[in-house]
Amino acid sequence: MSYETTLAGMGICIVLILVSWAAQRRPRRDIFRVPWFPWNAVMLLSLILFVLMAANLLSVWRG
């Protein structure tokens, strides 16, 4: 992956982390009213992907 693609992936991860965090903190009566949607899994997978993108960014940057 290129440098720009890695940064775009990291940006998407940050957006998904913020959306899942907001969805967990809001009451269930508005837009995030899907009780079966695993917001914790979205946050966990986004964090894992962010770490992988950071490692890829370091390898692309160095070499």
Look-up of token digits 């490692």: 55
Structural domain that includes position 53: 3-62
Backbone angles phi, psi at 33, to 5 degrees: -90, 35
Q: What is the dihedral of CA 7, 13, 17, 19, to 10 degrees?
A: 100
How large is the greatest C-alpha to C-alpha distance in the chain, in angstroms?
49
Domain count across the chain: 1
- Tell me: the pLDDT tens digits for 7-56? 999 999 999 999 999 888 776 666 666 667 788 899 999 999 999 999 99
7: its two tokens: 């940064």
Which pLDDT does position 36 carry in this prediction?
Answer: 73
pTM for the complete prediction? Answer: 0.76
4: its two tokens: 């720009």
Look-up of token digits 């992907």: 49
Which pLDDT does position 29 carry in this prediction?
Answer: 63
